[in-house]
Amino acid sequence: MPGSLPAPSPPLVTNKQLAVLPFTAPSGKPDDIVFGAGLSAIVATRLAAGHAGIWIVPEADLRRNRVITPDDARRAFGAPLALTGTIERPDGRAKVTMHLVDTGSGKILRSGLAVSAIAGGTLQTEVMKQALLLLNSRADTGTTPDTRTPTAYDHYVLASGYLQRYDQAGNLDAAVHEFQQAIQLDPACSLAYAGLSSAWWRQYRSAADPQLLERARDAAMRALSRNLGGVQMARGEWNDAEQSFRRAIAPLVRSIRIWVHSIFFWGVTMKPCRCWNKPLS
């Protein structure tokens, strides 16, 4: 069963930098490596969007400075804490082991374990619960899943992993494909549309094809028009819809709106918007 591994309980983590490092895959399988990178990026984004007490080092900065280990994070950014993890996906199951590490001493302060019976099923919920426990946080941000369709979530995580490595040949095409697969399986997955917009935008920056920019804008607007609460309302699940709106829609809409505005900013000025370089709180 998912749960925290025995470990001492440090004080509440606040007002500190945290580097969420790419989750590694002991199997060495390409899909597992990409899945781990995508999952860690999602964790970082969720923490940044809803945990005001911690500043998350942007993933792009980690990659640009080739930060791989907790010590790298301390040397490059002075981050006192790092969140590391390993991902295993044997026989359709997904298991993620995470560690909160003191970058100065290398000591593991806390460890957590998240498991799903079917890869992607409740994995996001369990991973976020464990991440918040590691930080000794009372917040519930990020525990609402981006999609309740297990296979759609698998594609979404893989797409996010490919997108994190957009500078490698073929990865943007792979990201577009995986985001589209996630959308096909769950048309209500807002963040899959947002990710698809991002992938097309990066393709536009490389190819300068106006059609790619239009696709990016269209996907971003579709992201704004979909949310889990709306789907639950349509199903008559009023209590669940209310909880989804309360716990998810505010940070989700804020993040996607920033992305939509940055897309239009780029299209008008041909300059990147720097709003994503600032921590979300």
Mean pLDDT of the chain: 75
Q: Is the dihedral of CA 33, 39, 44, 45 positive or negative?
A: positive
For the entire predicted model, the pTM comes to 0.67
- List the domain boundaries for the chain: 3-134, 184-277
Confidence bin at 120 (pLDDT 50/70/90): very low
Confidence at residue 148, expressed as pLDDT on a 0 to 100 scale: 64
Report the topology of domain 3-134. Rossmann fold (3.40.50)
Q: Is the dihedral of CA 118, 121, 126, 131 positive or negative?
A: positive
Residue 6 predicted with pLDDT over 60: no
Question: In this predicted model, what pLDDT tens digit does every residue of 203-256 receive, in sequence order?
Answer: 988 888 888 888 888 887 777 666 555 544 545 555 665 565 554 444 445 555
| Helical pair 30-50 and 123-134, crossing angle rounded to 10 deg | 60
Confidence at residue 240, expressed as pLDDT on a 0 to 100 scale: 61
Question: In this predicted model, what pLDDT tens digit does every residue of 71-88 receive, in sequence order?
Answer: 999 999 999 999 999 999
